[in-house]
Structure 1
Amino acid sequence: MPTGYMAYYGTPNFTRMLPTGGSSKTVNETTVIDMLSTDPGDYYKTRHTDARVPMNVQAFTDTGEGSAVLAVYSRSELFPPALWGAFVSQNGDQYMNPIDCVAPGTIKVIPNGTAAQLAEYQKLYPGTIAMSKSNDGKLSVIDQTGKLVTVGGITVQPISYTNPGGSARKAQMVITESGEDKSMVLSLSPGKQGVQYTITTSPINEIPAPADDVTWSALLEALSNDKAVDVLGSDLKRVKHGLPRNYIAFPNGLRLYVSSTRPTDTDVPVGSIGIGW
């Protein structure tokens, strides 16, 4: 029955306790649904058309230009019922349209929303929170300066340094952002696909340690290119090679033997020195 007839000819009788156990009250106010300023169907004619629910109006009676209809309806048993509305002025196929809520504390997610759109929404509806959702699923909000910042996102990019060994690929860092906060950590993969760097136990290629120190740049190059860092260098490697046979080799090829017994080596260079026998 139209609300106009209800208000004129009868008094609604609805008595309840809300919540249960509270005081009992009878609700007999006149119901008014005002859609003269905004027809909910106008918005959905060109935006989010698939959000509407088809409806067939078979009959209605009204004393004015049409009927403002509100319905509680759920499209699936998995989700709570929602509020839908339509302004009906004729029989036939029409649509019920979702009715939004702009109460303080509610969140509005705008697909690929710009900083200006988010700011405008929060200005029009004070107390609400506007968010932008990009095509890859990232959520963003605006900070105190009006800048669009990610709620929680990561990026992977090269670390700023020079590879001492000349490798083309650089180590990567992971940048984690939340609002205005940003943190950087060393990445164990070259991208965001979750593929780890190749790390073998016996790398073929070596990176010479710059000067006398093992630097972070050398370690980063080794990590990202599956290489080893030459900690000893050619001179110390030469020294290390002769230690099991009690001698130290010098860059000029001569050797210094320190032993209690005579060396049995047959390739001792002329000019080498022996101590101890």
Structure 2
Amino acid sequence: MEKILSVKNLTKKFKRVVVNNISFDVEKGNVYGLLGPNGSGKSTTFGMLLSTINPTSGDWYWFGKKGTDPDTLKRIGAIIEQPNFYPYLSAETNLKIVAEIKHTPYSRIEEVLKTVGLYERRKDTFKTFSLGMKQRLAIASAMLNNPEVLILDEPTNGLDPEGIIQIREIISNIAKQGITIIIASHLLDEIEKICSHVIVLKEGTSLYCGRVDEMTSNNGYFELKADNNTQLLEALNELQWFTAINQEDGLIKAHVRDDATISASTLNQKLTEKGIFLSHLNKKKLSLESQFLELVKNTN
């Protein structure tokens, strides 16, 4: 797979270390999530990759070329700050101004407005737009130069649930065009639903870099219940297939060992042989949120 971006030991120090020696690669055609709480170094990382912030040390390569020069920037669309358009001009006129700055033909305006679902509102002034519509217009602006890479910093920040869903659908549709997307977010659910890959940051340090499905490809856990949960707990401990077994509100959770491969039917059969008959049995996967919290806990 072709590498769009390669980051090597990138570090930024202000009064403290904000980004601490992070390295990761971004492959063409995927959606990457830069995941971490506020203050974890996401925006600073984007700033360095777009050459608006000077790094303390480290290197990065866009399309195999070191750093970020003007020619490279022409291949990237980015939204790093809040949308800044003229409030009393229409969406279409605002995009014409951006097109002039980017030396992009006006013919792209209709296409990008349709992409973000604002073509019917193209004659309306920016000040009449909701926050979600303003964010969608910003994405249209970033798409004007037909970029190979789209960088979005907290694209759903402050939006209501409907606005979040709209932005999510737009990002998915853009990704289907083969455009590589990098999203910074502190919302685990957003990353899990949108991204194929994730880079987890905590206090400027990278805790994980890889596919989302590999991060969540654990053996998961069983939810169980029987008439005699005390007997059930004893039987589960005897099986030695689990790393942790706990009971809450009458429901037992048994977390499967990484080296154990066990199906619900196999577990049910083993328990039946021991004279235990289940009234509830469900196998579940740990969510990205659970994995993220586990990662953060292990670094404390």
TM-score (norm 1): 0.26
Question: Which structure exhibits the higher relative contact order, with contacts defined as CA atoms closer than 8 Å and separated by 6 or more residues?
Answer: 2
TM-score (norm 2): 0.25
Structure with bigger helix share is: 2
